[in-house]
Chains A and B, each alone.
Chain A
Amino acid sequence: MSRRLTTGGSRIDRSRPVMITVDGREVAAYTGDTVASALLAADHPLLSHGIYSGRPRGVMGVGVEDACAYVQVLSGGGEPMVAATTLEVHDGLAIERIAGRGRLPSDDDTARHDTLYSHAEVAVVGGGLAGLRAAVAAAEHAEGSRVLVLDDGPVLGGAAADLPADSAAGRELRDLLARLSGLDEVSVLSRTTVTGSHGHGRLVALEQRPDGVAKRRLHHVQVDQVVLATGTHERPLVFSDNDRPGVMLACAAADYVTRYAVLPGERAVVWTAHDAGLHAAVELADAGTEVVAVLDVRETMAGPLAAALVGRGIALHLRAEVTGTDGSDDETGRLTRVHTTVGTFDVDLLAISGGANPAVELFSHPGGRTRWSEEVAGFVPDVPAAGQVGREVVVGAAAGDLDVVPDWRETLQPPATVFRADAGDPELVFLDPHRDATLADLRRAHAAGLSSVEHVKRFTTIGTGADQGRGFGVLAVGILAQELGRPIGEVGTTTYRPPYVPLSFGLLAGRNRGELSDPVRVSQVHDRVSHAPMEDVGQWKRPWYFPGTTADGLEELDASVAREVRAVRTGVGMMDASTLGKILLQGSDVGVLLDRVYTNLFSTLKVGKVRYGVMCGPDGMVVDDGTTARISETEWLMTTTTGNAAAVLDSLEEWHQTEWPGLDITLTSVTDQWAVVAVAGPRSRDVVAALAPQQDWSAAAFGFMDWREAPVAGIPARVMRISFSGELAFELHVPSWYAAALWDAVAEAGAPHGITPYGTETMHVLRAEKGFPIVGQDTDGTVTPHDLGMSWAVSRTKADFMGMRSLARDDARRPDRRHLVGLVPLDGTSRIVEGAQLVAHGADLTTFPVAMAGHVTSAYPAGHDGRPFALALLDGGRDRVGEVLDAVDDLVPLAVRVTGPVSYDEDGARRDG
């Protein structure tokens, strides 16, 4: 049976029928319908089930105040728990009913979402009469002001759009729209819900675009002035079994008639506490519903509304209340009977309206405070957020103005404040249908001693559903106030926070998803190495290892790394080191700055030399390490850890600008300007000599930590003798444009020596064998240079350096501090697990807590000798070499022996080749 009326329906287009699928069955609708209106028209009111109770739930509201009708969208990639009252239909839309909560679709969300940024002088939130008046006034009176109107409906006008065109409201609406269309500086965003007011004139809004390529847009709006004309949300009344399909908000029921030409019931009882409910009763009756009784909690009622009811032969019962309902025995549980204080009625619709809650959510987001108004029977804006003073104004019904619609002004009767908490079975009085929370839950919270509305909310979950208590929330506060015996204004509302309506993660991400979710940085050599598996290092992609081809296919990680390590230890390897952070420091005072930020002395460094340095924070903990080369008297090149370059540059900028602005220094990031290829291994000198034969590369002429300018394969280059592997090694720095040419030239010159490209994994193994820590992996912000065994890099002669005072504290000198040590498995073969905890050997792991002595920071399956080894931080570790401990991973212990951190070439004999 169709409940669609033959005429009317301001929002539907009968010339454009639409077919949607609900639980696998086709349902006919019109363009402009929502899922809720389409289902009501098809007399298909059952939508979902209570999340815990399993009770059938129908459509209760007409917009975002609905707390019942959520559906699972199956089409278009799918989406869980969408409000049926705001979801517009389109061909191919497929949904199914859900029991309380939706489920995440298993496939990727393929829907396209866009992000837009807008700027205007004035934003008007809400396109009802109050908002449109404000928009026209702003645009007409402030020449050149850009005005942005954001309205969540498909058409402007708010309540006025649902009134007859020849009414005063209808005429004013037509006039306002005509004036708006003549104002070039006014933009209107329909179907756009402002989801957050973030202060300083910033709004975030969700735009639905049923016909768009991108179905949704997220708008970031920056304005000078925000006008909140957000209107009201209809508040229900409660009684036993108030959640049945067939119980609807009265104004919502009338809106289904005027907007969608849907008759929500054949026979109805209307129960109200304010005039809007009476208006709704008249509209329902005029549309064809047999209104058998209208109950009003108020004591008197006069004027045209009462006369209109009498004129239609509708009985109006004052001081009357609904006490409960009965429903059908089938699975739909539909309303069949209403029990009231004036009799029992067999009806299929109970239309209720307990008042209008001013929509103060956006006013509250930045910190605005509300107060209870008896006159409005609702919480109204009181003290605006401090940061919004002068930037924000609330107008119309949202401000508690009862006089917005001109036709209603003259005859308005004051609303009643009524919450009703004393009738019926409290287990069946639902105060949040979406959360299935009841009056009994609220009483349990009270009995448990909770009196703050915030605590009761968390205890009962009332107001935490997808509807955020827009309809029921204030009602629940009122009932809580009655239970507590305190005025409702004193109890107050819970805190409203963004987002006002749910936002999907896909929308928040917009187009920045997948490969675009984070910028990807690749080195200038990337083209030559992109076939290698990559490791993410910060935003950089770095070759992880270079698998060779074997009879069984490509090498696995371990085999490849073993081969790469062997090449560097016995022959020669090459690595792309371009991602190293590089900072150019220029000026006559660079040495002074470096002496302050490095723990060791730099100002004495001679042109042509490179020095390794450790940086600490003022708290004495290691923050970075790297080398700095002196290029000329006034120019220095600093390298930093790959992932830490920006932080080091920021820190240098900060100290220079804020503490020592008098120093003559300029800092420039040159990470991307220089490409670096490291050539490492005992044969590396042969390769470099082949590339630059005109130079003397002998250890005597070009020592460790020397650098010089020299053409390499005809490319202008800076060659540095720096080693991160312990082997003889050369770093070749060239302007980025030459990166690929350099890589090719090194590969060609190295070919006779079997040069082997190696990746970050091999680099880690090589450095770990030498006990070189990686800041951020082997350190964690609690580690001093002394803890790392790097006291040699800490100056004793400088007057001060960053961290010096902290390192002088007694605590920094404790002998039992956690030191960097090496570990080998006692059995010589078992793999140590990175992150494993170090405990006493044989410690009982079943009795907690187990005393922890440290943890494994780096672990590798094989060093140069093919055996597993690791680095670790261990309490008093330097004095525990030789001791046996258990490295525990997931409660599985592995016996390990403590060694020094250096497990290869302890004397450093290999660095000169």
Chain B
Amino acid sequence: MLRIPCPHCGERDATEFHYGGEAGVDYPSDPAALTDGEWAAYLFVRGNPRGWFRERWFHAAGCRLWFQVERHTVTDEVRTVREGAA
């Protein structure tokens, strides 16, 4: 069972959270200026590294905070946690 450290509530079972995928994928400032390919890349293409990964979590069954963690995808070790999940 993955344990997620919520910056507000502390470490909890992953079942309390929703996974939000890769962090740092900003909504484009001017979607109309993007080609179909660029727009598709925003919509669908995400990193899937073997190693450290910055990702978003939502404490859905808790404080309802979105936040970012840096998690190692092999060891599940969490390196950093911070509020806000741009």
What residues make up the interface of A, taking CB atoms closer than 8 Å to B?
198-202, 222, 386-387, 389, 618-619, 650, 653-654, 657-659, 661, 799-800, 804-806, 808-810
Question: Across the interface, do A808 and B3 meet the contact criterion of CB distance under 8 Å?
Answer: no
Question: Across the interface, do A618 and B43 meet the contact criterion of CB distance under 8 Å?
Answer: yes
Interface size on B, residues (CB 8 A): 31
Docked Cα-Cα span, A75 to B35, in Å, equals 68
Q: What's the least CB distance linking B37 to chain A, in Å?
A: 11
With contact pairs A200-B2, A650-B18, A654-B20 given, residues A387 and B75 touching in the complex (Cβ less than 8 Å): yes
* CB of B41 closer than 8 Å to a CB of A: no
Question: Across the interface, do A805 and B2 meet the contact criterion of CB distance under 8 Å?
Answer: no
Docked Cα-Cα span, A658 to B56, in Å, equals 9
B17-45 to A contact mask, C-beta < 8 Å, 1/0: 01010000011101110101001001100
Q: What's the least CB distance linking A326 to chain B, in Å?
A: 52
* CB of B64 closer than 8 Å to a CB of A: yes
**B85 contacts which of A200, A387, A650, A658 (Cβ < 8 Å)?**
A658
**A805 contacts which of B1, B39, B86 (Cβ < 8 Å)?**
B39
Q: What is the chain A residue whose CB lies nearest that of B3?
A: A200
Docked Cα-Cα span, A65 to B56, in Å, equals 44
Docked Cα-Cα span, A810 to B27, in Å, equals 21
Question: Across the interface, do A202 and B1 meet the contact criterion of CB distance under 8 Å?
Answer: yes
Question: Across the interface, do B58 and A654 meet the contact criterion of CB distance under 8 Å?
Answer: yes
Q: What's the least CB distance linking B80 to chain A, in Å?
A: 17
Question: Across the interface, do B66 and A800 meet the contact criterion of CB distance under 8 Å?
Answer: no
Q: What is the chain B residue whose CB lies nearest that of A618?
A: B43
Docked Cα-Cα span, A650 to B60, in Å, equals 8
Specify which chain B residues have a CB less than 8 angstroms from the CB of A199 in the assembled complex: 1-2, 76
With contact pairs A386-B75, A659-B86, A806-B39 given, residues A800 and B31 touching in the complex (Cβ less than 8 Å): yes
Docked Cα-Cα span, A773 to B84, in Å, equals 36
Specify which chain B residues have a CB less than 8 angstroms from the CB of A810 in the assembled complex: 36
Question: Across the interface, do B32 and A800 meet the contact criterion of CB distance under 8 Å?
Answer: yes
Known: A618-B43, A658-B66, A806-B43. 10 other contacts (CB 8 A): A198-B1, A199-B2, A200-B76, A386-B72, A653-B64, A654-B58, A657-B65, A661-B84, A800-B30, A800-B31
Question: Across the interface, do B32 and A808 meet the contact criterion of CB distance under 8 Å?
Answer: yes
Q: What is the chain B residue whose CB lies nearest that of A366?
A: B76
Docked Cα-Cα span, A698 to B55, in Å, equals 55
Specify which chain A residues have a CB less than 8 angstroms from the CB of B86 in the assembled complex: 658-659, 661
Q: What is the chain A residue whose CB lies nearest that of B65?
A: A657
Docked Cα-Cα span, A277 to B64, in Å, equals 60
Specify which chain A residues have a CB less than 8 angstroms from the CB of B84 in the assembled complex: 657-658, 661
Q: What's the least CB distance linking A426 to chain B, in Å?
A: 42
Q: What's the least CB distance linking A669 to chain B, in Å?
A: 10
Docked Cα-Cα span, A738 to B65, in Å, equals 33
**A804 contacts which of B18, B31, B58 (Cβ < 8 Å)?**
B31
Docked Cα-Cα span, A810 to B35, in Å, equals 12
Question: Across the interface, do A805 and B58 meet the contact criterion of CB distance under 8 Å?
Answer: no
**A387 contacts which of B32, B36, B42, B76 (Cβ < 8 Å)?**
B76
Greatest chain A CB density within 10 A among B2, B27, B56 is at: B27
Docked Cα-Cα span, A199 to B77, in Å, equals 11
Q: What is the chain B residue whose CB lies nearest that of A660?
A: B27
Q: 27 A-B Cβ contacts within 8 A?
A: A199-B1, A199-B2, A200-B76, A202-B1, A222-B13, A386-B75, A618-B27, A618-B42, A619-B43, A650-B18, A653-B64, A653-B66, A654-B66, A657-B66, A657-B85, A658-B20, A658-B56, A659-B86, A799-B32, A800-B30, A800-B32, A805-B31, A805-B32, A806-B39, A806-B43, A809-B39, A810-B36
Q: What's the least CB distance linking A805 to chain B, in Å?
A: 4
Question: Across the interface, do A650 and B58 meet the contact criterion of CB distance under 8 Å?
Answer: yes
Q: What's the least CB distance linking A228 to chain B, in Å?
A: 17
Q: What's the least CB distance linking A653 to chain B, in Å?
A: 6
Specify which chain B residues have a CB less than 8 angstroms from the CB of A661 in the assembled complex: 84, 86
Docked Cα-Cα span, A657 to B75, in Å, equals 28
Q: What's the least CB distance linking A423 to chain B, in Å?
A: 45
Q: What is the chain A residue whose CB lies nearest that of B30?
A: A800
Docked Cα-Cα span, A267 to B35, in Å, equals 85
Docked Cα-Cα span, A804 to B30, in Å, equals 11
Docked Cα-Cα span, A387 to B42, in Å, equals 31
Q: What is the chain A residue whose CB lies nearest that of B74?
A: A386
Specify which chain A residues have a CB less than 8 angstroms from the CB of B20 in the assembled complex: 654, 658
Q: What is the chain A residue whose CB lies nearest that of B31?
A: A805
Q: What is the chain A residue whose CB lies nearest that of B28?
A: A805
Docked Cα-Cα span, A654 to B74, in Å, equals 27
Q: What is the chain B residue whose CB lies nearest that of A650?
A: B60
Docked Cα-Cα span, A200 to B36, in Å, equals 42
Q: What is the chain B residue whose CB lies nearest that of A657?
A: B66
CB-based closest 8 A-B pairs: A202-B1, A805-B31, A386-B75, A657-B66, A387-B76, A658-B85, A200-B3, A386-B74
Q: What's the least CB distance linking A480 to chain B, in Å?
A: 29
Specify which chain B residues have a CB less than 8 angstroms from the CB of A618 in the assembled complex: 27, 42-43
Q: What is the chain B residue whose CB lies nearest that of A808?
A: B32
Q: What's the least CB distance linking B14 to chain A, in Å?
A: 9
Specify which chain B residues have a CB less than 8 angstroms from the CB of A659 in the assembled complex: 26-27, 86
Docked Cα-Cα span, A800 to B31, in Å, equals 8
B45-70 to A contact mask, C-beta < 8 Å, 1/0: 00000000000101010001110000
Docked Cα-Cα span, A654 to B66, in Å, equals 7
Question: Across the interface, do B34 and A805 meet the contact criterion of CB distance under 8 Å?
Answer: yes
Docked Cα-Cα span, A202 to B60, in Å, equals 21
Q: What is the chain A residue whose CB lies nearest that of B26?
A: A659
Docked Cα-Cα span, A200 to B43, in Å, equals 32
Q: What is the chain B residue whose CB lies nearest that of A810?
A: B36
Specify which chain A residues have a CB less than 8 angstroms from the CB of B43 in the assembled complex: 618-619, 806
Docked Cα-Cα span, A657 to B60, in Å, equals 13
Q: What is the chain A residue whose CB lies nearest that of B64?
A: A653
Docked Cα-Cα span, A198 to B13, in Å, equals 12
Docked Cα-Cα span, A618 to B40, in Å, equals 10
Q: What's the least CB distance linking B79 to chain A, in Å?
A: 14
Docked Cα-Cα span, A708 to B39, in Å, equals 43
Specify which chain A residues have a CB less than 8 angstroms from the CB of B3 in the assembled complex: 200-202
Docked Cα-Cα span, A810 to B13, in Å, equals 44
Q: What's the least CB distance linking B46 to chain A, in Å?
A: 13
Q: What's the least CB distance linking B52 to chain A, in Å?
A: 13
Q: What's the least CB distance linking B83 to chain A, in Å?
A: 9
Docked Cα-Cα span, A657 to B82, in Å, equals 13
Q: What's the least CB distance linking B75 to chain A, in Å?
A: 4
Q: What is the chain B residue whose CB lies nearest that of A196?
A: B1
Specify which chain B residues have a CB less than 8 angstroms from the CB of A654 in the assembled complex: 20, 58, 66
Question: Across the interface, do A200 and B1 meet the contact criterion of CB distance under 8 Å?
Answer: yes
Q: What is the chain A residue whose CB lies nearest that of B4?
A: A200
Docked Cα-Cα span, A389 to B42, in Å, equals 36
Q: What's the least CB distance linking A868 to chain B, in Å?
A: 40
Q: What's the least CB distance linking A27 to chain B, in Å?
A: 43
Q: What's the least CB distance linking A221 to chain B, in Å?
A: 10
Q: What's the least CB distance linking B62 to chain A, in Å?
A: 13
